[in-house]
Amino acid sequence: MDDITLKEIIDYAKINEDNARQFYLKAAEHAKLDNVKGFLNSLAKEEEKHIARLNDIEKIVDRGGRIPKPHGIVKPLGYSGYLGSVTLDDNADYQEVLKFAMSKEKEAMESYQKYSQFVDDKKAKDLFMLLASEESAHLRSFEEKYDDFMKEIENW
C-alpha cells in the first residue's frame, strides 16, 4: 500500500459498515419471515453503531490523539471457518442470516488483519488492528447467538 492516511482508512471502514447497513435494510424489506425482518433491521442498527464508533475514532485522530487500543482480544469460536459460501435470499431463516452475518464479520476481520501487514506506519497498523479486533468481537457475538440457536434446536 502506498502512503495511506488514517482518515482514508477510517473512511474505508465507514463505507464498509454503511454498505453492510444498506444491505441488511434491503434484505429486511424482502424477507418473508417476520423474525428475520426484525433481526435484519437490528443488524442494520448495529452497523449504525459501528459507524458512530468510527466517527468517534476519527475525532480522536483529527485531534492528533492516540489510536485507541483494543479492549483485549476477543477470539471467535471458530464456527465461521466451516460455513463455506453463504448467500441470503428472500426465504432466508434466522439460522441462514446468522451464518451470513458471521461470514461477513469474518471477511472484514481478516481484511483488516491483512491490511495491517501491508503498511509500515505504526499508527496505520494500530488502526487496522483495532478495526480487526472490533470485527472479531462482532464475529464472536454472532457465533454465540448461533451456538445458542443450535442448542435450542437440539433441545426440541
1 domain-assigned: no
Domain that holds residue 63: 6-68+76-154
What is the number of domains present in the chain?
Answer: 1
**Which spans in 68-154 are helix H?**
94-117, 122-154
Amino acid at 140: R
39 domain-assigned: yes
CA 18, 20, 21, 25 dihedral sign is: positive
Which CATH number fits the domain that encloses residue 116?
Answer: 1.20.1260.10
Amino acid at 115: Y
Which of the four pLDDT bands, split at 50, 70 and 90, describes residue 39? confident
Quote the crossing angle between the two packed helices 6-30 and 122-154, to the nearest 10°: 20
pLDDT tens digit sequence for 56-110: 989 988 888 887 777 666 777 777 777 777 777 888 788 888 888 888 888 888 8
pLDDT of residue 2: 57
Other Cβ atoms within 10 Å of 152 Cβ, number: 9
